[in-house]
Amino acid sequence: MNIYLDLFLTFAKVGVMTFGGGYAMLPILQREVVENKGWATEEELMDYYAIGQCTPGVIAVNTATFIGQKYKGILGGIVTTLGVVFPSLIIISLLASVIEAFSHIVWVQHAFGGIRVCVCVLICNAVVKLYKKAVVDRLTLLIFLAVALGSYFANISPVFFVVIAAVLGILLADRMGRSEKNKGGAAK
């Protein structure tokens, strides 16, 4: 199959299965892009999530664009972006014309309530997977706790937290590296 068609269809499948926003699509994207297609590694995908979160736009679209661009250049980025947004465009266009007519029906309201709960579970699963891959030592645990507490208690842009976490990662890793060298030198 043409690789661009494969990119489009893969990301259209991700787009059509994504209910609840960008975070809900993380497990689907991970399965399709990392496990099934091998277009990115787990680490690259986490990097794309982080960058996609702090750049303008929707995280799902940004992540799709990064993956497509990495795999097949600018045209790949365009194709994956179109693929991930195409199903939403079609579905929203269809729903927009009828949603108001059915939104007052009790079972429709209950269905949306159930979907919201399901989306919460999908997001929690994605967070647990990301946590297991990202928090691998004391340094990353400290950064995780600092960002978690900061984001809970302070109403600050996620971009700030990403930049601060990057700076902390650099500074603390450098400091820990020097500390390890000093221990190794003292042992000789």
Residue 72 has a CB neighbour count (10 Å cut-off) of 18
**Is residue 74's pLDDT more than 90?**
yes
Give the model's pLDDT for residue 6. 93
CA 137/CA 169 separation, integer angstroms: 12
Residue 187 has a CB neighbour count (10 Å cut-off) of 6
The domain locations on the chain are 3-134, 135-188
Mean of per-residue pLDDT scores for the chain = 84
Q: What is the pTM of this model?
A: 0.60
Closest CA to 118 of 13, 18, 38: 18
CA 173/CA 188 separation, integer angstroms: 23
The pLDDT-based confidence of 1 (bands split at 50, 70, 90) is low
Q: What is the pLDDT of residues 9-64, one digit of tens each?
A: 999 988 887 766 667 777 888 889 899 999 988 888 888 888 887 777 778 888 88
Give φ, ψ of 139 to 5 degrees.
Answer: -60, -50
Q: What is the pLDDT of residues 48-59, one digit of tens each?
A: 888 887 777 778
